[in-house]
Amino acid sequence: MASHTESGSLVFHTNQQIDEIYARLTKTFQSGVTRPLEYRRRQLLQLARMVQENHTAFEDALLADLNKPRIETTVSEVSHLVTSVLYTVENFEQWAQPDPCETKEAWRSGWGATLYKEPKGVALIISPWNYPLVLTMNPLIGAIAAGCPAVLKPSELVPTLTELLADLTSKYLDPNAYVVVKGGVPETSHMLELRWDHIFYTGNSRVGRLVATAAGRHLTPVTLELGGKSPAVITDDCDFDVAARRVLNGKIQNAGQLCVAPDYALVPRAKVDAFVQSLKKAHDEFWPEGDHPLTGSVPVSNIINPRHHARVVNLLNRTKGKVVLGGEIHKDKSISPTILTDVPEDDVLMEEENFAPFLPIIAVDDIDHAIRIINAQPIPLVIYVFSDQEGMKDKFLQRTRSGQLVFNDVMMQFCAHEMPFGGQGESGYGMWFGKTTFDTFTHFRGFINVPTAQEPFLMFRYRPYTNDKYEIACAPGRAKIPDA
């Protein structure tokens, strides 16, 4: 069966080739090749070398596909991945050790209750176009560390990066265990018909539902890393200049096409003008006189394609908000960072995640008003709060829900390798990052060994049932319950 191309730029795998890859990786897993810790260590180090030795090639690929500035690729994708791999190499052997389960009752203490860490099996990792390197390879780090072979399916919307990943993965990693599949919607749909041992999907909630439905047919566990409308809450006590600089910097990364970008800002009504002035000041710091976000020396990233660009322009045309900064459109490629005020709570920009370089500002009466707006939306991936007020953290922990809660910065949660990351509800489910990514691809297999010498003690469970046996069985249920 011949391969075919998408827009003449990327040669897709056929369904037959996908089936052959699936069979090959299944055979590899069943052979036990990926289980030894030394094998996993070698593959992890090879992954680190792959990223480090091809740093410039990855920058070139994302510049070609997204017009992403080199420093953004370096900070958020290349350097982050090298750090993540080395952190895992340093710790995964400890993570993989069996965990004895503490046993309090003496009669069970000799059973050796233990949790063993075993690889789930062959994994499928489906990643998006916006951060295609890190969102493909970060889950792979956990899969390798856990001993799982994996099929990687990057987005067809970044053909240069996908082709590069396919080429490098086959050279640096074991080709019988780790393979990049190139394809679009039909090829991905075919892969979802197969029985995987874990599926890790990053993308939007619409496709996430399709992935979860397909996985459900095989009862396959799934991690869904989705998105949502992540708010930035500005309180009147914060340093507006610092808050504005950090929010705007988070908003312009990859032209706002990032699941953890601040989607909108909630600002005290009396402080909106002051916050806008701080945003304009930050904008002028990022692009001094003579420079420009669309045509300057290092322009912002492109919107991924003309279709998405048209969607974003349509949002800008339909909003009732007032553009106070930006709003410039460059061909069908990019849009300047745009700040909007006087945005109603039911505005088109509040209907779903913008995934654009827009920051709508909604004026609020107080923190309670801000919390009501947040709670009226689906659960976001993250809530950003800029405040040093005593008790503000507890208020947001107790009265809101989100995947994560970050104070006084945006996106810096990705620097905390030790802290699990994940969504809730519409923003996804399942956790990952650092050890948690290892756990995601690991089956925790319980073990006990009940000595035959205990048979006389355990005779009460057998028929024929008697009153004496009944009294023995009832004893645990009669334990004293504390008053409070």
| Tens-digit pLDDT profile for residues 225-280 | 999 999 999 999 999 999 999 999 999 999 999 999 999 999 999 999 999 999 99
Dihedral sign from CA coordinates of 44, 45, 50, 56: positive
Q: Using one digit for the tens of pLDDT, what is the confidence trace for 2-12?
A: 455 554 479 99
Q: Identify the pLDDT of residue 1.
A: 41
Query: Which ranges of 232-382 would DSSP assign to H, the alpha helix?
Result: 240-252, 272-286, 306-318, 367-376
Closest alpha carbon to 147 in 431, 447, 418, 443: 443
**What is the percentage of the chain residues whose pLDDT exceeds 90?**
96
Instruction: Report whether 117 contacts 124 (CB < 8 A).
Output: no
Q: In angstroms, rounded to a whole number, what is the distance separating the alpha carbons of residues 242 and 227?
A: 25
| Residue 116 burial (C-beta neighbours within 10 Å; 0-12, 13-18, 19+) | middle
Q: Identify the pLDDT of residue 7.
A: 47
Q: Reply yes or no: is the peptide bond before residue 464 cis, omega within 30 of 0.
A: yes
Indicate the residue type of 309: H
Q: Identify the pLDDT of residue 2.
A: 41
Q: Any idea what DSSP says for residue 370?
A: H
Q: Using one digit for the tens of pLDDT, what is the confidence trace for 131-144?
A: 999 999 999 999 99
- The backbone torsions φ and ψ at residue 283, rounded to the nearest 5 degrees and listed phi first, read -60, -45
Rounded to 10 deg, the angle between the 79-95 and 134-146 helix axes is 20
Dihedral sign from CA coordinates of 274, 363, 335, 301: positive
Q: Any idea what DSSP says for residue 432?
A: B
Query: How many C-beta atoms surround the C-beta of residue 386 within 10 A?
Result: 26
Closest alpha carbon to 124 in 148, 143, 144, 151: 151
Q: Using one digit for the tens of pLDDT, what is the confidence trace for 282-313?
A: 999 999 999 999 999 999 999 999 999 999 99
Beta-bridge mates of residue 429: 224
Closest alpha carbon to 299 in 261, 358, 252, 267: 252
Q: Identify the pLDDT of residue 4.
A: 55
Q: Is 344 helix (H, G, I), strand (E, B) or coil?
A: coil
Active site residues: 225, 259
Closest alpha carbon to 439 in 34, 40, 32, 142: 142
Q: Any idea what DSSP says for residue 461?
A: G
Q: Using one digit for the tens of pLDDT, what is the confidence trace for 373-416?
A: 999 999 999 999 999 998 999 999 999 999 999 999 999 999 88
Closest alpha carbon to 69 in 229, 310, 286, 381: 286
Closest alpha carbon to 159 in 335, 372, 11: 11
- Which structure tokens are listed for 434? 């650092």
Given the structure tokens 């590069």, which residue do they identify?
164
Contacts of 285 (CB under 8 A, 6+ apart): 245
Local confidence band at 417 (pLDDT 50, 70, 90 cut-offs): confident
Q: Identify the pLDDT of residue 354.
A: 95
